[in-house]
Amino acid sequence: MPARSLLVSLVLSLTALAGCGPAAAPPEESEPSNTTRDDIVGGSATSEFPAAGALTRWGSAHCTGTLVAARTVLTAAHCLEDVSAASLKFVIEPSLSSPKTVVAVTAISAHPAYDSAKIENDIGYVTLAADAPVAPIEILPEMDQSWVGQKLSFVGYGITSGHGGGAGVKRLVTMPISAVEATRFVYQTPGKNTCNGDSGGPAFANVGSEWFVAGVTSYGDAGCNYYGVDTRADAFAEFVLGKPAPSEGKPDSAPSDPCHGESYEGRCDGTTVVWCEAEKIHEIACQSCGFDAAKGFFNCL
C-alpha cells in the first residue's frame, strides 16, 4: 500500500509572519520566521457572513473556510496537509461551543503546486457531503494594484492575540490592503491582524452592494503583531470552481469528484481496502480489512 502521510495538524503548530514593508515579499530573518496562521486580532465577535464557517478536525477547532458553491468550501492548502476528509466537518455557527449546523466533508483538494516551504499557492477546497444550508459567496472576479489601500473584512475562528486564547469564536476585523502581488496580498495595521486559527478564512470585499471572497488567510508573523498575507482568491478561481471566474460565467455546481465519493479514510470492499488519495482511487487486497483506529483510516489488518 502506498505510504500515507501522518495525520498531524500543521495548523495547530504554526503561527504567523513577521514585519512587512510596502512590498508584498516576506521580510528578512531579522523578524520572527514565516509560518502559516489561524486567528483574528483587534476584531470583534460576529454572526455576519454565514458563508464563512469553521473547519473542525475530529470535533476540535482546526481552520476557517468559506462556502463558494453549494458543496465547495474554500480554505488554505496548509489546512489540508496530512488530514483526512473523514476527520473534517464544516460548522456554520458563530461559536464552536454550541455547533448546530454541521456538514460532513467527503473530499479534500489542495492546490497541486502548493509549496509548504515557501508558503506559495496556499489554497485549496473541501467538498461537502450535502448542500450547505446557507448561500455561497462568489470569488472576486479580479484584483490589481488599484486595490492597494482598499479595506477588506477578514473573518476567522482563531485566537485573539499571539499569546493564545479566544479560539472557536467567529470574529471579524477590517483592514486595508498594503501591497498586491500576482497570487497574494499583504495587510499591516497596528493592533489588527489575522492569527493562529484563522487559516483558510476569508477576506471579504464589498463591490457596489455585493460581497465577494477576495483572499484566503495564509501566513504572517509569529506574534501576529506586524502583518499578514492572504492568497488571492481570484488568481485560483478556475482551480477551485473547475471553471472560469464569476466574471466569465457563474458557477452553477460543485466541482467534479475524481474519486467518485471515495474518501481518504477509505472503506473495506470485502478484504480489499479502497480509498482516495491525491485525487486518485487506490485499492489493495488484504487477508483481513478493517478500520485502523491508531492511523485513522481503513487498512489491512
Q: What pLDDT score does 43 carry?
A: 53
Contact 123, 201 (CB under 8 A): no
**pTM: predicted TM-score of the whole model, two decimal places:** 0.68
Best-predicted range by mean pLDDT (24-28, 141-145, 162-166, 288-292): 141-145
CB environment 42-57: b (16+ within 10 A), e (fewer): bbeebeebbbbbbbbb
In terms of pLDDT, which residue wins out, 79 or 11? Answer: 79
Which residues lie across from 156 on neighbouring strands? 171
Residue range 79-89: average pLDDT? 93
Q: What pLDDT score does 163 carry?
A: 45
Q: What pLDDT score does 22 carry?
A: 27
The band of 160, judged by pLDDT with boundaries at 50, 70 and 90, is low
**198 pLDDT more than 90:** no
Q: What pLDDT score does 283 carry?
A: 87
Listed residue (11, 14, 107) closest to 63, CA to CA: 11
Query: What are the tens digits of pLDDT across the range 38-47?
Result: 334 545 567 7
Query: What are the tens digits of pLDDT across the range 231-269?
Result: 999 999 999 988 544 443 344 444 456 776 678 778 887
Best-predicted range by mean pLDDT (154-158, 201-205, 220-224): 201-205
Query: What are the tens digits of pLDDT across the range 107-147?
Result: 999 999 999 999 999 999 999 999 999 999 999 999 999 99
Residue range 165-186: average pLDDT? 88
Distant-in-sequence, close-in-space partners of 15: CB < 8 Å, separation ≥ 6: 35, 37, 38, 162, 195, 196, 220, 221, 222, 223, 224
Contact 218, 119 (CB under 8 A): yes
Query: What are the tens digits of pLDDT across the range 273-294?
Result: 887 877 788 888 989 988 887 7
* CA distance linking residue 247 with residue 199, whole number of Å: 26
Q: What is the mean pLDDT of the chain?
A: 79
If one counts every other C-beta atom within 10 angstroms of the C-beta of residue 270, the result is 9
